[in-house]
Amino acid sequence: MVYGQIFQQHSPDNCFINVNVGGFRRRMAHTVLRRFPQTRLGRLLRCRSRAAVLELCDDFSPSDMEFYFDRSPQFFSYVLNFYLTGRIHLVDGVCVVSFFQEIEYWGIKERHLDICCSDKFKELMDGADGGSDELQLGSSGSSCEELPAVKDNTDAFRGSWCADVRRNIWIRLENPGHSASAKAMAVASISVVIVSIVAMCVHSMPDFHQVDVNEKELISPVLQLFENFCVVFFSAEFVLRLAVAPSARKFLCSPLNIIDLMSVLPFYVTAAWDLMDEGETTELENVGKVVQILRLMRVFRVLKLARHSAGLRSLGATLRHSSREVGMLVLFLSVGVSMFSSLIYFVEKESEESELQTIPIGWWWATISMTTVGYGDTFPTTFAGKLIGTLCIICGLLIVALPVTNIFNRFSEFYQRQRDVVGS
């Protein structure tokens, strides 16, 4: 018999096929299977060769029209119920990941889950994804949310130069809870970060802005002393960490260490610029603009606190593993801002008292309204505009609240995990 003629000879609607799943046999009608042509059994009816049939089942008997599947016979009873009702239910006692793999094998989509099981399935899958994220978090050596090394990584240092000395220094630098000396190093590092931030804030005050006869900015000697001290400390700390790190490549790829490097790099670039800034040329003027931008990179010193803060590391982990929720939040806000900015423009453009005369201005108004900031610099003056403003604020509350719950739950999981690891 030619395999391309198997189903053509049995094309009437009252024809059946025999399905054998792990020893459990069932006779199924073509009409039932054709209701779901994208499922595995539905696709069998469209096979025109033995190779195509064996791609969908483990074995096949053309004489008996029987298809063999090496799958769970207990789960197949739920698959049969799906073909009869069009809906599938969660299987009690089966891991949600295994359940997902089974329905994926049979070609059943998540949308076919009955309403009584849909929410529970999503909740369990989110929990499984969170567990997977935690495993990735624990195994990643360069993630932003990675905890300091709290264990003696003997294997990583074994066979390297001065292994014992480097390991002891590394543990004290990375784990403040290891000993009193490690805690003293952490306190010193945090203190220098705070001093650097305070000096940067004081430098921005007008009373400390001085220029020479050539209109070149002069830095207060006291502030310059603090700046030099902080940079020297940060540089020495970075070089020491790099020297004792078990892997220089992983060390340089770590986001926390990149932040450390970016916090001191502007100082050396601006120092090199000051040495070169003796002649006034167009090229040097352009470089000077770049240097001004680099000076702003000193703000990275604030992020150095993340090394000593479980909360900041948890925030980084949350943002990294909640990209889907954050994307939804941005999408919802973008749609809302676009819609309400257009509405407020059309109802306010005829009012001479209103400042909402263009849609771009409406974007700003809709953004601060939907996020409930409400600066009050732009506001509607007409009655219709105030009604739209009320709807904008209410919709903003709902839109922001929907994804934030999942983000907060994930943040709590990461924060609790980091506290447990530190306390262990």
Per residue in 303-315, pLDDT (tens digit) is: 666 666 667 777 7
Q: Which own/partner contact pairs does 146-152 have at CB distance under 8 Å and 24+ positions apart?
A: 146/254, 146/256, 146/313, 147/310, 147/313, 147/418, 147/421, 147/422, 148/174, 148/175, 148/176, 148/307, 149/174, 149/175, 150/174, 150/175, 150/177, 150/178, 150/421, 150/422, 150/424
CA gap 43, 56 in Å, rounded: 8
CA gap 162, 322 in Å, rounded: 41
Tell me the residue type at 314: S
> Structural domain boundaries of the chain?
1-70, 75-139, 154-308, 320-423
Tell me the residue type at 85: T
CA gap 64, 136 in Å, rounded: 49
Tell whether the model's pLDDT for residue 60 goes beyond 80: yes
For residues 270-287, one letter each, b for 16 or more C-beta atoms within 10 angstroms of the residue's C-beta and e for the rest, the string is beebeeebeeeeeeeeeb
CA gap 403, 386 in Å, rounded: 27
% of the chain residues with pLDDT over 90:
6
Identify the band that residue 10 occupies on the pLDDT scale cut at 50, 70 and 90: very low
Q: Which fold has domain 320-423?
A: Helix Hairpins (1.10.287)
Of the candidates 35, 30, 41, 121, which has an alpha carbon nearest to the alpha carbon of residue 79? Answer: 41
Q: Which fold has domain 75-139?
A: Potassium Channel Kv1.1; Chain A (3.30.710)
* Predicted confidence (pLDDT) per residue in 107-134, tens digit: 888 888 888 887 777 777 766 655 544 4
Identify the band that residue 394 occupies on the pLDDT scale cut at 50, 70 and 90: very high
Helix (H) or strand (E) holding 81: helix 73-85
The architecture of the domain spanning 154-308 is Up-down Bundle (1.20)
What CATH code is assigned to 1-70? 3.30.710
- Maximum Cα–Cα distance across the chain: 102
* Predicted confidence (pLDDT) per residue in 333-383, tens digit: 888 999 999 899 888 888 888 888 888 888 999 999 998 888 888 888 889
**Fold match flag (1-70 vs 75-139):** yes
Q: What is the mean pLDDT of residues 220-233?
A: 83
